[in-house]
Amino acid sequence: MAFRDDVAVDWEVSPRIITVAAPSDEITTQDLHDTLRTLEALPSALDDPSIVESSGKEVLTTTTRVGLTVTLLNARLAFEARSTPPFVLCRVTGGNLVALDDEGYPVVAIEPTAYVSVNTQASSAATLTEPSAETIAVVNDGLMDGPNVESGITLRGALRLLLAVAAGNRTATENNTMTIKAAGGTKARIVGTVVGSDRNVTTINIAD
């Protein structure tokens, strides 16, 4: 649940006006639903009719759900007016936004304001597509083992070296050879020599 503290409702007018304060220029349908549910539960609004009802997010497949549709009840959404040009493009994202008047008839969901243009979604079959665990794993591997951070060292390898330096055991010999082990393991990640303040790394091991 995400409550937006930049959203306010004028309960005294009809239709009720829901205002997203400047400089915000975007709100998701989920955030709008959550915020309105919270505001209408406040003691100051308990005597007012409900301002929102929503539907959707039913599971279609393991990776796809029906999109969210938020219905404003005798209410309209406004983005706070700007004082001067140019026009600001504001957006309602994440699903459909519709509105009904006090008699239940469909009306425009957006309240016009000065120097503001609002883009909303309108779909009879909105869906939310989520990547599968396999897709996420492939993307993660591509990031971790993709372009090198340094020559021959991937992001995954760099993280192994950093973790070894931060948390791995260190051993030193009389001939000034220093070995840094993998964190929580026995694999030698970094081997080199240390003489005074000078360090010369001779071997690194970034293998699993």
SS3 of residue 36 by DSSP: helix
The answer to whether residue 104 is domain-embedded is yes
Chain centroid offset of residue 18 CA: 23
Of 64, 77, 65, residue with least CA distance to 32: 77
Which residues neighbour 199 within 8 Å (Cβ) at sequence distance 6 or greater? 178, 192, 193
What's phi and psi for 76, nearest 5 deg? -135, 150
Q: What is the pLDDT of residues 141-181, one digit of tens each?
A: 888 988 788 888 999 989 999 999 899 898 888 788 999 99
Whether the pLDDT of residue 17 is over 90: the answer is: yes
What's phi and psi for 20, nearest 5 deg? -95, 120
- Is residue 167 located within the same domain as residue 195? yes
Q: What is the pLDDT of residues 42-69, one digit of tens each?
A: 999 999 999 999 998 888 888 877 889 9
- Is residue 26 located within the same domain as residue 123? yes
The answer to whether residue 165 is domain-embedded is yes
The total of structural domains in the chain comes to 2
Report pLDDT for 124: 62
The answer to whether residue 173 is domain-embedded is yes
What predicted TM-score, i.e. pTM, was given to this entire model? Answer: 0.61
**Domain boundaries, position 83:** 7-129
Report pLDDT for 117: 97
- Is residue 52 located within the same domain as residue 103? yes
- Is residue 175 located within the same domain as residue 102? no
Report pLDDT for 83: 95
